Amino acid sequence: MTADDVPAATVVQGALTSLEDVSGEVTITALYPGEQLVPGRFARPEDLEPDDEVQAPEGYHQITVQLPTTRVIGGHLAAGDTVGFFVSAGETETQLTLQKVLVTRVQGGVSVVEDEEGNETTEAAADSLMVTLAVEAPDAKLVAHAAEFHGIWLSLEPDDAPRMRPVPSAPRMCSNDPHRRGGAGLDVEAAYAQAVGVAYMPLPAPESEAPSDLLGRLNGASAPEVLVLDAREDPELALSLAARFSAEHPDTVLLMIADDAETLGLRAMRVGVKDLVPSDADEHQVEQALGSAVQLAEKLTARHAAAQDQEPTGRVITVVSPKGVPARRPSPPTSP
């Protein structure tokens, strides 16, 4: 850009006389040779950020789902809101899977438009909305799976709303990051996701043997009825975690995925693992193992519920010998 003299009659009203007037600003339209510059061609970078978008927390994934208006509060949703994420699988199962999920962008929602005279009018939402959510990596996989195979509903859930404690009706799975194995774990994870359905909850690889570290990723929910531990990456850590889980959460049925199930079998059983599933198990084997685990979990739940309804009772059983201690007979007298 260069400065040039032009006849006063041809100077555009408000034309810039110095670039210092727009220092730090950027152009918002194309500029052409011979054009006189006006302030309206420039803007501050921060002013160009859309009003209907908020920044996602550092390290979070942004994932978009397309939903009918009726499933997004009638279209009354805006960036910055937090929502509950409901997933429906079939006609009888719907669960609140995620809570207080940040919405970073909404396309097609209810909007307010201002005309040239300053009058505001409300425009109805489109038939479907594109909603972008900010979630952590494990939850991003859950959102993608739900969008692909199940039905999704969003509820408006303020950040100060109390957390629910959903009771899972199917097992939730803890699995190591499959990408650490060059993709070898993807088939295993897909098999479990398909078998479990809406209650499938992938979690990152545990970093310690403390169950609290793992349960802290369950969004406030209680320990699951069935927990599947992936022992392929670190068998010793998986066994230690299983031992702690058996001691601290005896109602949770533990399964374990292993490359060599026979080698880990005895050690796993000793720490409370109910069944080992080979890493190359097919879908039928996975469903069979999970089905048996769920049945056992249901029996444990029913047994504890029945015990709570009864008066506490106790018995003391003593085992004693029926003959007692045999008496010693005196020795017969001896002749001199």
The per-residue pLDDT string of the chain (336 residues; one tens digit each, 9 = 90 and over) reads: 667 776 776 667 777 777 777 777 777 667 777 777 777 777 776 555 555 678 899 989 999 999 999 999 998 998 999 999 998 876 667 778 888 899 999 988 887 766 666 677 777 888 888 999 999 887 888 888 888 888 899 999 887 777 654 444 344 444 444 333 333 344 566 666 666 655 556 565 666 777 777 666 665 556 778 888 888 888 888 888 889 888 888 888 888 888 887 788 888 888 899 888 888 887 778 888 888 888 888 887 777 666 665 666 667 777 776 665 555 555 565 555
Statement to judge: residues 264 and 195 lie in one domain = yes
Residue indicated by tokens 């209907």: 52
The number of helices, as runs of H, and strands, as runs of E, in the chain is 6, 13
Statement to judge: residues 131 and 224 lie in one domain = no
Q: Which of 137, 164, 191 is the last residue of a domain?
A: 164
Statement to judge: residues 67 and 132 lie in one domain = yes
Statement to judge: residues 98 and 220 lie in one domain = no
Q: What's the pLDDT score for residue 266?
A: 87
Distance CA 336, CA 330 (A): 18
- How far is residue 111 from each of residues 50, 70, 81, 123, 126, measured CA to CA in Å? 14, 16, 15, 5, 10
> Domain range spanning residue 40?
14-48
Q: What's the pLDDT score for residue 292?
A: 86
Statement to judge: residues 27 and 73 lie in one domain = no
Name the domain count of the chain: 3
Q: What's the pLDDT score for residue 169?
A: 39
Statement to judge: residues 130 and 262 lie in one domain = no
Distance CA 95, CA 82 (A): 17
Statement to judge: residues 43 and 63 lie in one domain = no
Strands 172-173 and 226-230, by their bridges, are parallel
Q: Do the beta carbons of residue 84 and residue 101 sit within 8 Å? A: yes
Element at 281 (helix H, strand E): none
Q: What is the pTM of this model?
A: 0.45
Q: What's the pLDDT score for residue 187?
A: 57
- Residue 194 forms part of a structural domain: yes
Distance CA 174, CA 192 (A): 10
- Residue 324 forms part of a structural domain: no
- Residue 322 forms part of a structural domain: no
Statement to judge: residues 259 and 245 lie in one domain = yes
- Residue 6 forms part of a structural domain: no
Alpha helices in the chain (DSSP H): 137-149, 186-196, 211-215, 235-248, 261-270, 283-309
- Residue 5 forms part of a structural domain: no
Statement to judge: residues 130 and 195 lie in one domain = no
Tokens describing residue 77 = 């949703």
Distance CA 213, CA 216 (A): 5
- Residue 9 forms part of a structural domain: no
Distance CA 77, CA 108 (A): 10
* CATH code at position 176: 3.40.50.2300
